[in-house]
Amino acid sequence: MKTFDKAIKESVPTLVVFLHHGCQDAVEVKYITDNIKTKYQGKANVVRADDPYGKLKVSYRLEEYPTYVLFKEGQELMRESGRKTETQLSEMIDRAL
Protein backbone atom coordinates (compact mmCIF):
# COMPACT_ATOMS: atom_id res chain seq x y z
CA MET A 1 0.00 0.00 0.00
CA LYS A 2 1.29 3.43 -0.93
CA THR A 3 1.98 5.96 1.74
CA PHE A 4 -0.22 9.04 1.82
CA ASP A 5 2.63 11.48 1.07
CA LYS A 6 3.92 9.38 -1.83
CA ALA A 7 0.48 8.87 -3.35
CA ILE A 8 -0.41 12.57 -3.55
CA LYS A 9 2.83 13.33 -5.40
CA GLU A 10 2.27 10.79 -8.19
CA SER A 11 1.48 11.82 -11.77
CA VAL A 12 -1.90 10.09 -11.63
CA PRO A 13 -4.75 11.79 -9.73
CA THR A 14 -5.08 10.81 -6.09
CA LEU A 15 -8.39 11.26 -4.31
CA VAL A 16 -7.81 11.57 -0.57
CA VAL A 17 -10.85 10.96 1.59
CA PHE A 18 -10.44 12.55 5.01
CA LEU A 19 -12.60 10.89 7.64
CA HIS A 20 -13.03 11.11 11.39
CA HIS A 21 -13.94 8.03 13.38
CA GLY A 22 -17.03 9.85 14.65
CA CYS A 23 -18.24 10.68 11.13
CA GLN A 24 -21.72 9.22 10.77
CA ASP A 25 -21.22 8.70 7.01
CA ALA A 26 -17.98 6.70 7.46
CA VAL A 27 -19.42 3.28 6.59
CA GLU A 28 -21.11 4.55 3.42
CA VAL A 29 -18.01 6.54 2.43
CA LYS A 30 -15.79 3.47 2.80
CA TYR A 31 -18.14 1.43 0.61
CA ILE A 32 -18.25 4.12 -2.10
CA THR A 33 -14.49 4.70 -2.07
CA ASP A 34 -13.81 0.95 -2.32
CA ASN A 35 -15.93 0.90 -5.48
CA ILE A 36 -14.10 3.90 -6.92
CA LYS A 37 -10.72 2.40 -6.07
CA THR A 38 -11.66 -0.69 -8.09
CA LYS A 39 -13.12 1.34 -10.96
CA TYR A 40 -10.00 3.53 -11.37
CA GLN A 41 -7.34 0.93 -10.60
CA GLY A 42 -4.22 1.84 -12.58
CA LYS A 43 -5.63 5.27 -13.56
CA ALA A 44 -6.04 6.99 -10.20
CA ASN A 45 -5.35 6.40 -6.53
CA VAL A 46 -7.93 6.51 -3.76
CA VAL A 47 -6.60 6.92 -0.23
CA ARG A 48 -8.65 7.13 2.98
CA ALA A 49 -7.09 9.17 5.74
CA ASP A 50 -8.70 8.69 9.14
CA ASP A 51 -8.10 11.68 11.39
CA PRO A 52 -8.90 10.48 14.94
CA TYR A 53 -6.92 13.23 16.67
CA GLY A 54 -7.69 16.14 14.33
CA LYS A 55 -4.07 16.68 13.22
CA LEU A 56 -4.93 16.48 9.51
CA LYS A 57 -7.83 18.88 10.04
CA VAL A 58 -5.39 21.69 10.74
CA SER A 59 -2.74 20.71 8.16
CA TYR A 60 -5.23 20.39 5.29
CA ARG A 61 -7.72 23.08 6.39
CA LEU A 62 -10.58 20.62 6.78
CA GLU A 63 -13.84 22.22 7.86
CA GLU A 64 -15.94 19.06 7.99
CA TYR A 65 -15.84 15.31 7.48
CA PRO A 66 -15.85 13.69 5.08
CA THR A 67 -13.72 15.95 2.88
CA TYR A 68 -12.47 14.81 -0.51
CA VAL A 69 -9.31 16.39 -1.89
CA LEU A 70 -7.97 15.53 -5.32
CA PHE A 71 -4.19 15.82 -5.77
CA LYS A 72 -1.92 15.38 -8.77
CA GLU A 73 1.86 15.74 -8.63
CA GLY A 74 1.58 17.14 -5.11
CA GLN A 75 -0.82 19.92 -6.07
CA GLU A 76 -4.39 20.19 -4.86
CA LEU A 77 -6.71 20.25 -7.87
CA MET A 78 -10.11 20.37 -6.21
CA ARG A 79 -11.92 19.85 -2.94
CA GLU A 80 -15.43 18.82 -1.91
CA SER A 81 -16.97 18.27 1.52
CA GLY A 82 -19.99 16.49 2.87
CA ARG A 83 -21.95 13.52 1.58
CA LYS A 84 -21.12 12.71 -2.06
CA THR A 85 -22.34 9.98 -4.36
CA GLU A 86 -20.12 7.58 -6.25
CA THR A 87 -21.02 9.46 -9.46
CA GLN A 88 -19.97 12.81 -8.00
CA LEU A 89 -16.61 11.45 -6.86
CA SER A 90 -16.05 9.73 -10.21
CA GLU A 91 -16.68 13.06 -11.96
CA MET A 92 -14.00 14.69 -9.81
CA ILE A 93 -11.46 12.08 -10.89
CA ASP A 94 -12.57 12.16 -14.53
CA ARG A 95 -11.88 15.91 -14.71
CA ALA A 96 -8.28 15.28 -13.64
CA LEU A 97 -7.58 12.44 -16.09
Give the CATH number for residue 54: 3.40.30.10
pLDDT in tens, the chain (97 residues): 457 788 899 999 999 999 887 777 888 899 999 999 999 999 999 999 888 777 888 888 998 889 999 999 999 999 999 999 999 999 999 999 9
pLDDT attached to residue 58: 86
In terms of Cα–Cα distance, which of 7, 15, 83, 18 is closest to 55?
18
Owning domain of residue 63: 4-96
Q: Say how far apart CA 3 and CA 34 lie, in whole Å.
A: 17
In angstroms, the first-to-last Cα distance of the chain is 22
Q: What pLDDT does 20 receive?
A: 82
Against a cut of 0.75, is the pTM above it? yes
- The pLDDT of residue 2: 59
Contacts with 47 (C-beta within 8 Å, 6 or more apart), sequence order? 2, 4, 7, 8, 14, 15, 16, 17
Of 32, 31, 40, which Cα lies nearest the Cα of 12?
Answer: 40
Residue (of 57, 34, 31, 29) closest to 46 by Cα position: 34
Give the count of domains, the chain: 1
